Amino acid sequence: MDNTQPQTRTGPHTEVKYLKGVGEQRARLLKNLGISTILDLMEFFPRDYLARKLNPSIKELRPEDYVAFTTMISWVDERRTHGGKKLLNVGVSDGKATLVCAWFNYPTAYATLFKPGSLLWVSGQLSEYNGQLQLMHPEFELVEDDADDDFWKKREFMPIYSLSGNLTQKFIRRTVYAAFALCAGQIEENLPTGLLEKYQFPARKVALQKMHFTINPAEIPALKQRFVYEEFFYSQLLWARHKHYHGESVQGIHFANKRDLTTQLYAQLPFKLTAPQKRVLREIFADMCSPRQMSRLLQGDVGSGKTIVTLFALLLAVENGYQAALMAPTELLADQHYANISKLLANLPVQVVLLKGGNYRGKTQVKEDISTGSADIIIGTHALLQSDIEFDRLGCVAVDEQHRFGVLQRATLARKDKHPDLLYLSATPIPRSLSLTVFGDLEVSVIDELPPNRKPVQTLVRSNQKIDLVYREVARELVSGSQVYIVCPLIEESDKVDLLDAQRMHEYVSTKVFPQYSCVLLHGRMPAREKDAIMLRFKAGEIRILVSTTVIEVGLDIPNASVMIVEHAERFGLAQLHQLRGRVGRGGQQAWCYLIEHFPVGKIARERLNTLVRTTDGFLIAEKDLELRGPGEFFGTEQSGLPQFRFANLVGDQAVLNQARGDALAIIGTDPDLTAPESALVKKVYFRQYTDKEKLILY
């Protein structure tokens, strides 16, 4: 009897650890780079290509030039500056002239890393110091001797990969080579011939190999387009199907504009609505008064007044005999909404209730009021999503700070009743390019102007060397009664990175700088109750200085706070800094934001800080942030439901996005379930990737 095991053939989907020379330990390091299978490795594109012949001669270089080239290390010198800082100088030479690479406060390992005689690849912007050309904190790579690797020895262009742990360029190059040697023949095409021809794309197999083994790096940008297109095409198919099946056709509630409660609220508003608030309200009302289900994103910068607009939408549902819910991401925000809205509706015949998580006194009653329908407006946290919460007749749902909730959570609330109208609020201005991809055909309303009583926050970048001057200016604000936030990147001291942590900062400020004021520490590892208690005391003015990590980021309204100090501002993302800055200047007085930078500040970090000084326009900032960081990091978490693109950049690649969307819509328009024979390939690739996401969106 023949009982041989079926042969498992090594292919693109085999785990990378089985490749020659990899093994368990290196496989773990590769995993840090997002590489699990052999195909992942093939799709792990070089971040640069080293031109081994095209190196410039040092003599021809000028200060300010950006350079990238390989040279020989001629000497290494470690010393201390007058100020006591560690300085490492590495002289590199092309045989005719020398330039100096310099690092301050470098990791100890650097001292033994550079050896005279080795080849060093460096890249950065040149400067001049005492008549000597130098590269400060250049990017670098020790170029290993590839003598034993025949294939690579003959290449003019060497790929440079991102590394992890103690992985080397040489290891990755060899492993990539081994991957293609073994599996190149099995790489599958994933675009139909029609599209390949339309865009003159090379076959996937060819394009992948060229990405690693190019003999002409000028062709790389065009090659990359193919991979960008693939990603967009399949993600746009999802939206095309969503549009096809849900699009215009979802029946919703046909509200009538009764001008009852809404008019009463309007008559007693403590301020006049801004023009964009009025426009957005008209858009929302028109949508709610149509027979289809509203699904609308309400965008507006921090402090632009989204809450009041939302309240009108909730009231429209209530005056039509329905209930309306507002969900917030934290208890503190839910409390704040509850307090504000109760106050605004004090004279109206509307019952407002608050629902939070956990067990507390009165909760049973609130749940009963929700299920019997006596509660009109229900404000709450995630607790609203729980299965034991039953609404009587839910007509409208608003989700505040919607990016803090996952797609699944948003979908759960939307399904709590028949087809309530949906309003998603976002203080993170989402660029149009992103919102199309994240939300497909969601309608968007934008409040693009702040209420008139606001003065733009004055933003200043200061070096930490000058922090005493900052404290002196802040002292004046404190004397005149304001409150101050100080934000630090870490909670506790860490020996790995030399960053100011919130704990040390709090100790220093409360004992040495402002001992006369109450100063309290707040961080994310505190229990929620403790955090809330501190925020309430800050809100009440009992606490004057709040030293914290970024936990204070989300939507709190404390009008008396007028100073924000961000330590290590160079470490934060642009959108995050903008959100932090939005915590101050909400009360009509002049507010200040000090961005404290600690040396060294990289080029991109510098650009971020300058952008903040230049503008307070959240949309401009968001576009810039996307451009600098890419969409993956834009919302911080996977939870946002944002598709993770490996190749595409939503800002830089918008033209490709538009083409891909057009193609996807065209295919779904004639063959929505991809049953035609010519759709077979697309169908296979699409469902392999998108089955799970479809479940969330289509059903």
Among 619, 544, 548, 538, which residue's Cα sits nearest to residue 578?
Answer: 619
**Rounded-to-integer distance, Cα 36 and Cα 504, Å:** 40
Q: Which does 300 bind (CB under 5 to 8 A by kind): Mg ion, ligand ADP, none?
A: ligand ADP
CB 589 within 8 A of CB 480: no
- Among ligand ADP, Mg ion, none, the one that 649 touches (CB under a kind-dependent 5 to 8 A) is none
Q: Between 187 and 328, name the residue whose CB sits nearer to ligand ADP.
A: 328
Q: Are 146 and 153 in contact (CB under 8 A)?
A: yes
Which one, of 455, 503, 473, lies nearest residue 565 by Cα? 473
Q: Which residues, numbered 497-536, are part of the site for Mg ion (CB under 5 A)?
A: none
User: Can you tell me whether residue 178 is helix, strand or coil?
Assistant: helix
Query: Rule CB under 5 A: is residue 431 a binding residue for Mg ion?
Result: no
Q: Residue 614 carries which side chain, given as an amino acid letter? A: R
Residue 234 CA to residue 341 CA, distance in Å, equals 43
Give the residue with the Cβ less far from Mg ion, 159 or 555: 555
Q: Of ligand ADP, Mg ion, none, which one sits near residue 345, judging by CB under 5 to 8 A according to partner kind?
A: none
Q: How far is the CB of 472 from ligand ADP (least distance, A)?
A: 31
Interface segment toward Mg ion; rule CB under 5 A; list 72-80, 552-560, 578-586, 675-683: 552-560
Q: Helices marked H in 553-679 — which ranges?
A: 574-581, 603-614, 618-629, 654-670
User: Which residue, 265 or 682, has its beta carbon nearer to ligand ADP?
Assistant: 265
- Applying CB under 5 A, which part among 548-556, 648-656, 659-667, 675-683 lies near Mg ion? 548-556
Specify the residue for token string 């590199």: 92
By a kind-dependent CB cut-off of 5 to 8 A, residue 273 interacts, out of ligand ADP, Mg ion, none, with ligand ADP
CB of 308 to Mg ion, least distance (A): 10
Task: Round to whole Å and give the CA distance between 153 and 145.
Answer: 9
Binding at 571: pick from ligand ADP, Mg ion, none (beta carbon under 5-8 Å per type): none
**8-state DSSP, 21:** T
Residue 259 touches which of ligand ADP, Mg ion, none (Cβ within 5-8 Å per kind): none
The torsion angles phi and psi of 468, rounded to 5 degrees, stand at -65, -35
Residue 267 · residue 299 · CB < 8 Å: no
Q: Which of 218, 294, 227, 222 minimizes the C-alpha distance to 255? A: 294
CB of 693 to ligand ADP, least distance (A): 30
Binding partner selected for residue 659 from ligand ADP, Mg ion, none, CB under the kind-specific 5 to 8 Å limit: none
- Min dist CB 394 to Mg ion, Å, is 22
Residue 453 binds which entry of Mg ion, ligand ADP, none, CB below 5-8 Å type-dependent: ligand ADP
Nearer to Mg ion, 555 or 585 (CB): 555
Residue in the shown chain whose Cβ atom is closest to ligand ADP: 305
Contact present, 612 and 581 (Cβ < 8 Å)? yes
CB of 660 to ligand ADP, least distance (A): 33
| Cβ proximity to Mg ion, 330 vs 649, nearer residue | 330
The whole-angstrom separation of Cα 661 and Cα 670 is 15
Q: Kindly tell me which of 16 and 265 has the beta carbon lying closer to ligand ADP.
A: 265
Phi/psi of residue 449, nearest 5 degrees: -155, 140
Cβ atoms 427, 575 nearer than 8 A? no
* CA-derived radius of gyration, the chain: 29
| Pairing state between β 519-522 and 561-566 | unpaired
Q: Which of 511, 500, 516 is nearest to 467 (CA)?
A: 500
Number of amino acids touching Mg ion (CB under 5 A):
1
Q: Which does 320 bind (CB under 5 to 8 A by kind): ligand ADP, Mg ion, none?
A: none
Say which entry of Mg ion, ligand ADP, none residue 643 contacts (CB below 5 to 8 A, set by partner kind).
none
Question: Which of 429, 440 has the CB closer to Mg ion?
Answer: 429
Q: List alpha helices for 480-548, DSSP H.
A: 502-508, 528-539
| Residue 303 vs 440, nearer CB to ligand ADP | 303
Does residue 555 bind Mg ion (CB under 5 A)? yes
| Residue 371 backbone dihedrals phi, psi, to 5 degrees | -75, -30
What minimum distance in Å lies between the beta carbon of 453 and ligand ADP?
Answer: 6
Listed ranges 121-129, 169-177, 518-526, 554-562: which one lies at the site for Mg ion (CB under 5 A): 554-562
**Both tokens assigned to 302:** 């921090």
Interface with Mg ion in residues 122-181 (CB under 5 A): none
**In the complex, least distance from residue 555 CB atom to ligand ADP, rounded to whole angstroms:** 6
Per CB under 6 A, residues contacting ligand ADP are 271-274, 277, 300, 302-308, 427, 451, 453, 555, 557, 586
Instruction: State the Cα–Cα distance between residues 40 and 36, nearest whole angstrom.
Output: 6
| Residue sitting closest to Mg ion (CB) | 555
Positive or negative CA dihedral for 247, 248, 254, 256? positive
Tell me the closest approach of the beta carbon of residue 288 to Mg ion, in angstroms. Answer: 20
Least Å distance, CB 427 to ligand ADP, is: 5
Residue with Cβ nearer Mg ion (122 or 326):
326
- Nearest approach in angstroms of CB 329 to ligand ADP is 12
| Residue 403 phi, psi dihedral angles, 5° rounding | -65, -10
Binding segment (CB under 5 A) for Mg ion, from list 140-148, 270-278, 512-520, 547-555: 547-555
Task: In angstroms, give the least distance from the CB of 276 to ligand ADP.
Answer: 9
As a whole number of angstroms, the distance between CA 488 and CA 496 comes to: 16
| CB of 82 vs Mg ion, minimal distance in Å | 51
CB of 305 to ligand ADP, least distance (A): 3
Residue 428 CB, nearest distance to Mg ion (Å)? 11
For residue 234, what are its two tokens?
Answer: 């399949």
**What gap in Å lies between CA 671 and CA 307, rounded to an integer?**
42
Q: Helix 306-319 to helix 331-344 angle, to the nearest 10 degrees?
A: 60
Q: Which is nearer to ligand ADP, 273 or 509 (CB)?
A: 273
Nearer to ligand ADP, 124 or 555 (CB): 555
Q: What is the DSSP string of 29-89?
A: HHHHTT--BHHHHHT---SEEEESS-PPPGGG--TT-EEEEEEEEEEEEEEE-TT--EEEE
Percent of the chain as helix, strand, coil, to the nearest 5: 45, 20, 40
Closest CB to Mg ion among residues 305, 489: 305
Nearest approach in angstroms of CB 347 to ligand ADP is 17
| Bridge partner residues of 522 (DSSP) | 548
432-439 and 220-245 helices, crossing angle to 10°: 50
Cβ-based nearer residue to ligand ADP, 124 or 303: 303
Cis peptide before 672 (omega within 30 of 0): no
418 binds, among ligand ADP, Mg ion, none (CB under 5 to 8 A by kind): none
- Which residue, 291 or 559, has its beta carbon nearer to ligand ADP? 559
Q: Which does 523 bind (CB under 5 to 8 A by kind): ligand ADP, Mg ion, none?
A: none
Q: Which is nearer to Mg ion, 336 or 649 (CB)?
A: 336
Report the interface residues with Mg ion, using CB under 5 A.
555
